Amino acid sequence: MNDLELASETLALPGLRASVDKFIGWLERYGDGLSHDPYDLWGTRYGLFSRRLYYAKNPLGVPLVAPLLLAEILCPSVRGLFVGKQRYATSDAQLALAFLNLHTLTGEARFLVRAEEFAAHLLRTNIPGYSGHCWGYPFDWQNNHGLWKRNTPFITATPYCFEVFLGLHDATGERRHLEVAESIARFVQNDLHDTPTSADAAAGSYSPNDYSQVLNASAYRVMVLSEAARRFNEPRYAATAQRNLNFILQNQRADGAWLYALDHPSERFIDHFHTCFVLKNLVKVNRLWNDAAITQAIAKGYEYYRRELFDAEGLPKSFTIQPRTQLVKLEMYNFAEAITLGALLRDTIPAAFAHAQQLAAWLVAKHQLADGHFTTRVYRGGWRHTYPFVRWPQSQIFYALTNLLKAEG
């Protein structure tokens, strides 16, 4: 019996709930959603400049980014000298969704109150100027496509907010929550771009400012528009969702995998949590569509994922092929997404659900700290990064554990 199996033997349902309660205590003490972030230093002028040179393959790029990498590994708390804590829409949304899960499980009003509080923060951080409510990140982001300015709305952030307001409407019956969700759907339909990839398929863009072909971005868009088409009886949403879905299905490789993106050579990789993003959104979509092609894609995709993105012990690997410079041995974000995916697959791939239970037990046993929060990552050699970022991966782990509790309940 390996460590995963031993951990799952010792963590029954009451133990998982105790872990969740312990985390909630930490969250309230830490700042209740306010947090530093992995991108804090990279979003400074120095960080943006060094990263721009690095992506341009300038010889100065590596020596300039090296101090930031060392600071992140050896002394992540140094960021507090340069930047303050902020709110992040993705973490506020995932915290709200976790509290909604707990409200569904227990019927306790206090959890609904907490979800409402995080939803109120989301309304205050909504980005104006688009067809509807939308969210991004409060930092500048330098990547292969150039500089994406802070408060650019992203399809990878906005769908979690969509699920929050739908969940609040379902829990309370209040029309105001449904109106926000309907507004979000207008943004997702009207302000993102479609790039045709075949006669009946198109990639949905990452933001209103690009024409990228990122697989998980299209998967998030399909999820939102599929649900919105049903809720709001809007045929345009269904038509757009179908074209984006075809893009995903047509670009699944013969072995079941999806590349991260198709439009930039450096983004043609296969990694753990982006694969989870594609799969979990397809699972949610197929609950509405019940389509044989989606079912087959999920089964084939999960088979690849389970075979290639876990090590011999059953622990998540970050990449199918590990980069030579990969410093991280275990990324806890991967655990969170694997647990959520397994919870979603409970009824269709029981082995995925059992594996999620093992991963949750191992995570709680090995990496929940005394104060209630979780290790961020483990570097090669065993060095643990324990400085907490709510957006990465504390909110994801909290949401994942409550997804598992809900699936078990």
Each residue of 32-63: pLDDT tens digit?
A: 889 999 888 888 888 888 888 887 788 888 88
**Global confidence as pTM:** 0.94
The Cα 261–Cα 203 span in angstroms is 10
Q: For residue 351, how many other CB atoms are within 10 A of its CB? A: 11
Residue 242 host element (H or E): helix 235-250
Per-residue pLDDT at 12? 54
Under 8 Å between Cβ of 295 and 286: yes
Q: What is the pLDDT of residue 160?
A: 98
By DSSP bridging, strand 141-143 and strand 146-148 are antiparallel
Residue type, position 22, single letter: K
Give me the pLDDT at residue 13, please.
55
User: Considering just the CA atoms, what is the radius of gyration of the chain in Å?
Assistant: 20
- Residue range 126-309 in CATH 1.50.10.20: yes
Say if residues 157 and 135 touch (Cβ distance below 8 Å): yes
Contacts of 136 (CB under 8 A, 6+ apart): 89, 127, 150, 151, 152, 153, 154, 157, 207
Q: How many residues does the chain have?
A: 409
Give burial (CB, 10 Å; 0-12/13-18/19+) of 306.
middle
CA 46 to the chain's CA centroid: 27
| 368 bridge partner residues | 374
Q: What is the 3-state secondary structure (H, E, C) of 202-227?
A: EEECCCCCCCCCEHHHHHHHHHHHHH
pLDDT of res. 5: 58
Helix (H) or strand (E) holding 74: helix 61-74
Report the run of H or E that residue 111 belongs to, with start and end: helix 109-125
pLDDT of residue 47: 82
Q: Which helix (H) or strand (E) holds 143?
A: strand 141-143
Say how far apart CA 154 and CA 190 lie, in whole Å: 13
pLDDT of residue 280: 98
Q: Is 6 exposed, middle or buried (0-12, 13-18, 19+ CB in 10 A)?
A: middle
Amino acid at 262: L
The kind and range of the H/E element at 248 are helix 235-250
CB count in 10 Å sphere of residue 262? 17
What torsion do the CA atoms of 127, 168, 218, 307 make, to the nearest 10 degrees?
130
The segments of the chain whose pLDDT lies below 70 read: 1-14, 322-325
Taking the C-alpha atoms of residue 75 and residue 62, their distance in angstroms, rounded to an integer, is 19
| pLDDT at residue 8, as a whole number | 53
User: Which residues have C-beta within 8 Å of that of residue 381, sequence separation ≥ 6?
Assistant: 329
**What residue spans of 58-192 are helical by DSSP H?**
61-74, 89-106, 109-125, 158-172, 175-190
User: Is 357 within 8 Å of 8 (Cβ atoms)?
Assistant: yes
Other beta carbons within 10 angstroms of residue 309's beta carbon come to 21
- Please report, as a single letter, which amino acid is at residue 302: Y
240 close to 225: Cβ distance less than 8 angstroms = yes
In angstroms, what CA-CA distances link 397 with 45, 89, 108, 131?
31, 16, 21, 32
Q: What is the pLDDT of residues 266-318, one digit of tens each?
A: 889 999 999 999 999 999 999 999 999 999 999 999 999 999 999 999 999 99
Alpha helices, DSSP H only, in 251-349? 272-289, 292-308, 332-344
Joined together, the tokens standing for residue 342 give 């397994």
| In contact, 340 and 322? CB cutoff 8 Å | no
